[in-house]
Amino acid sequence: MAIADLPLADMLARPLRDLRISVTDRCQFRCTYCMPREVFGRDFAFLPREQLLTFEELTRVARVFADLGIGKVRLTGGEPLLRRDLDKLVAMLAGIDGVQDIALTTNGALLAGKAEALAAAGLRRVTISLDSLDDAVFMALNDAGFPVARVLEAIAAAAGAGLAPVKVNMVVRRGVNEQSILPMAAHFRGSGHVLRFIEYMDVGTTNGWRLDEVVPAAEIISVIGGQWPVDPAEPAYPGEVARRYRYRDGAGEIGVIASVTQPFCRGCTRARLSADGKLYTCLFGGAGHDLRGPLRAGCSDQALREQISSIWARRTDRYSEQRTHRSSRTQQAQPKVEMSHIGG
């Protein structure tokens, strides 16, 4: 086998398998752990339309990534369904050789009316954010007055469109919504959907993250296991970030994403493309690599492939593994891209 035919890997021998594409930096919600209103207020300057990659540009980049080995594409934001005609992009991505799986992460606010079209276009899976079943708690978190019932409608619509099992993500923050862990587990047990608990992370620099507000994954599993015993399950695929657990009584499974207390950097196979065409090799990255400039300057696919290959081959990111060795002051001072800019 020629060297050029070897799978692309970074400095820690991690292959490139997944591409997460942010299609917009805008969102209707102002979740306190992602886009706090005091920062992302009425005067916040979001990206102008001309700076966003077009669907054609996104598809071209995704095709080059597919040539380099990615098989999974996830559309994120901001809130991706704010991007008009997103089903057209899904159809374009579904036509790329090598892309086997297209998924979407959404707050669910617009999903009910679009699930059928997205599924028909080639969307395979959907992840919906829901941080509590208690309206007061959930609306305080999303800071947009959006009720739980509308998210549950979105989950049902997604399942009805064939996008099941739906994954439901709950970010857990101590002192805010940890009391919702058991009610959420109770609601989704036996539903056929997969509830995943996410440790509150220090993504970006605006959410006021503090380590003492993290509810460790081990504590979450202990709380749930005390009510309904669970057993660990094998990862569904190499590089899966969620640790899976199955209920012993057969009522389905849950997952925990423990970036803070159980880092999974060594298995990370994800590249992230921001809405304005910057490539990030880590969720906690401080600066991206510009792809929009070369794209619009007329670079060839081969030149784009070489640029992306070079970026990935030099990758050494392992922020979460190194977090515990840094002081909180150092972490806060380190520049990091906001989650709303590159998706979760």
Q: Where are the domains of the chain?
A: 3-342
- Assess whether pLDDT exceeds 50 at residue 103: yes
- The pLDDT of 66-93, averaged and rounded, is 97
- Assess whether pLDDT exceeds 50 at residue 305: yes
Q: What amino acid is encoded at 123 in this protein? A: L
pLDDT on residue 324: 62
What rounded mean pLDDT belongs to the chain? 92
- Percent of the chain having pLDDT more than 70? 92
pLDDT on residue 338: 76
The label of the residue with tokens 């399942």 reads 159
Per-residue pLDDT band for 131 (boundaries 50, 70, 90) equals: very high
pLDDT on residue 334: 65
- Assess whether pLDDT exceeds 70 at residue 60: yes
pLDDT on residue 344: 64
Report the C-alpha gap between 110 and 117 in whole angstroms.
12
Per-residue pLDDT band for 284 (boundaries 50, 70, 90) equals: confident
Per-residue pLDDT band for 81 (boundaries 50, 70, 90) equals: very high
Which residues fall within 8 angstroms of residue 100, CB to CB, at 6 or more apart?
71, 72
pLDDT on residue 3: 41
Per-residue pLDDT band for 343 (boundaries 50, 70, 90) equals: confident
114-126 pLDDT, tens digit each: 999 999 999 999 9
Q: Are 149 and 112 in contact (CB under 8 A)?
A: no
Strand ordering across the sheet containing 194-199: 230-233, 243-247, 253-257, 194-199, 167-172, 125-129, 101-106, 72-76, 18-22, 270-273, 278-280, 289-290
- The pLDDT of 295-311, averaged and rounded, is 97
pLDDT on residue 41: 93
pLDDT on residue 262: 85
- The pLDDT of 239-249, averaged and rounded, is 92
pLDDT on residue 206: 67
Per-residue pLDDT band for 4 (boundaries 50, 70, 90) equals: very low
Per-residue pLDDT band for 318 (boundaries 50, 70, 90) equals: confident
- Percent of the chain having pLDDT more than 90? 79
Per-residue pLDDT band for 265 (boundaries 50, 70, 90) equals: confident
DSSP-derived 3-state class of residue 111: coil
9-42 pLDDT, tens digit each: 999 999 999 999 999 999 999 999 889 999 999 9
Report CA-CA distances (Å) from 50 to 24, 67, 276, 296.
Answer: 12, 27, 9, 12
- The CATH number of the domain covering residues in 3-342: 3.20.20.70
pLDDT on residue 271: 96
Which residues fall within 8 angstroms of residue 106, CB to CB, at 6 or more apart?
77, 79, 80, 81, 126, 127, 128, 129, 154
pLDDT on residue 1: 36
Burial class of 7 by CB neighbour count within 10 A (0 to 12, 13 to 18, 19+): exposed
Per-residue pLDDT band for 333 (boundaries 50, 70, 90) equals: low
- Give the CA dihedral 170, 173, 175, 176, nearest 10 degrees: -50
pLDDT on residue 240: 82
β 125-129/167-172 pair status: parallel
- Assess whether pLDDT exceeds 90 at residue 2: no
